[in-house]
């Protein structure tokens, strides 16, 4: 089907890349040398990024149904593990991510918390929320869902956070400067060209993805903070392969291609041109479609806990993974979770074989063992296994 043009992929070039520098205040209390330092409230107010409000409408993206469905599933159930989008350049990969984040309603955070903790259940591991007086209800404020870019040339300190050198030299205070992982908490961490990411950053991401916490131990600083986010990666397979350890951490993997039919290509150009000429007018034109998509995602979130997963469906998922020879059990877990989120999105209260069929390729294609003597593409192998296990 269709895709978003090359220009569409550049809509969000100015997206958030992390925290903005905070103004320094000489009235901040000095921190104990032994205690884990906490960022100031002033710094926290500037710590939470927001997506651009004039993002290209998610519902206006032409075609790319698998990619849009996978992103919506990840928005309904972030525990699935994120989405990997591989395909041609200029097919709307980054545009779709930021469009979905802009589509979602604002979220409540603890006022003054640099890690955007949920005021309903602030985490004790958060250095800010854990220090709040017992029995005191945390104040909240509403912020947009963050979309944080992880540049390929970033440093480990920029990603994980580090000592605030300016305050250390000027005031003699050991203060922590939060990094991109803190900024992405409860939002999206987007990595373009993820297959080119340096190995030491991949190792750090693997640790945080597994634990949901970022632990910083350096320059006399000892601190841990929550870091749960939907990891979105995109790239061109021609530019290199992704490390197997990181590849397996992505819940879903989708393939996007340049449209081959004339009508889709023309529609992409027309919509993109209309958006470039009058962004506010174009967004207003798609407002009703965006509202329907938003309601679908929110209804799916509410319905998710009510969707039942029959034992027979789990057995079918296990048979499919056995037929494909996937390593470990992450394939089955991701498959049934994604199928449940898909059912919730579509208003179904029970996961059936049809849900498994429709999400199997996205959940399993990147988990298959490679056979150098078999040139069959992963998607074809999954489709063949589906016919063998479920029938035509």
Just list the catalytic residues: 330
Q: Strand ranges (DSSP E) for the chain?
A: 83-87, 107-110, 140-143, 147-149, 162-163, 176-177, 188-192, 213-218, 221-226, 230-235, 252-256
The answer to whether residues 334 and 80 touch, using CB atoms and an 8 Å cutoff, is: yes
The answer to whether residues 326 and 389 touch, using CB atoms and an 8 Å cutoff, is: no
- 179: helix, coil or strand? coil
Longest dimension (CA), the chain: 71
Whole-number Å distance between alpha carbons of 214 and 204: 9
Please name the helix (run of DSSP H) or strand (run of DSSP E) that holds residue 44, with its range, or none: helix 41-45
Q: Are strands 213-218 and 221-226 parallel, antiparallel or unpaired?
A: antiparallel
Whole-number Å distance between alpha carbons of 293 and 295: 5
Whole-number Å distance between alpha carbons of 267 and 271: 6
Phi, psi angles (nearest 5°) of residue 177: -100, 105
Whole-number Å distance between alpha carbons of 363 and 80: 10
The answer to whether residues 161 and 118 touch, using CB atoms and an 8 Å cutoff, is: no
How many residues would you count in the chain?
A: 392
């Amino acid at each position: 089907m269709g895709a978003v043009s090359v220009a569409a992929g550049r809509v969000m070039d100015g997206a958030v890349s992390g925290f903005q520098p905070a103004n320094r205040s000489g009235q901040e209390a000095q921190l104990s040398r032994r205690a884990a330092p906490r960022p100031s409230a002033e710094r926290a107010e500037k710590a939470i990024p927001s997506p651009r409000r004039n993002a290209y409408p998610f519902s206006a993206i032409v075609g790319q149904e698998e990619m849009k469905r996978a992103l919506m599933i990840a928005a309904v159930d972030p525990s699935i593990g994120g989405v990997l989008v591989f395909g041609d350049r200029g097919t709307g990969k980054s545009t779709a991510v930021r469009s979905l984040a802009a589509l979602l309603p604002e979220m409540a955070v603890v006022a003054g918390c640099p890690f955007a903790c949920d005021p309903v259940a602030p985490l004790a591991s958060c250095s800010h929320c854990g220090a709040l007086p017992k029995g005191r209800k945390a104040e909240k404020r509403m912020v947009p869902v963050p979309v944080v870019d992880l540049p390929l040339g970033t440093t480990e300190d920029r990603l994980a956070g580090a000592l605030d050198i300016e305050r250390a030299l000027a005031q003699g205070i050991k203060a922590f400067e939060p990094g991109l992982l803190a900024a992405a908490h409860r939002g999206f961490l987007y990595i373009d060209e993820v297959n080119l990411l340096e190995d030491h950053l991949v190792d750090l991401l693997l640790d945080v993805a597994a634990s949901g916490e970022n632990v910083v131990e350096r320059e006399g600083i000892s601190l841990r903070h929550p870091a749960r986010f939907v990891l979105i990666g995109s790239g061109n397979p021609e530019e290199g392969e992704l490390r197997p350890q990181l590849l397996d951490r992505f819940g879903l993997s989708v393939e996007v291609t340049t449209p081959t039919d004339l009508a889709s290509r023309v529609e992409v150009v027309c919509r993109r041109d209309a958006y470039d000429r009058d962004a506010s007018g174009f967004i207003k034109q798609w407002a009703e479609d965006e509202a329907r998509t938003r309601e679908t995602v929110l209804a799916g979130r509410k319905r998710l806990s009510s969707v039942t997963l029959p034992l027979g469906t789990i057995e079918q998922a296990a048979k499919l993974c056995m037929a494909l020879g996937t390593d470990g059990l992450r394939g089955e877990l991701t498959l049934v979770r994604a199928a449940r989120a898909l059912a919730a999105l579509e208003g179904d209260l029970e996961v059936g074989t049809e849900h498994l069929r429709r999400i199997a390729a996205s959940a399993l294609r990147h988990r298959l063992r490679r056979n150098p003597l078999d040139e069959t593409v992963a998607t074809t192998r999954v489709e063949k296994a589906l016919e063998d296990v479920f029938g035509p």
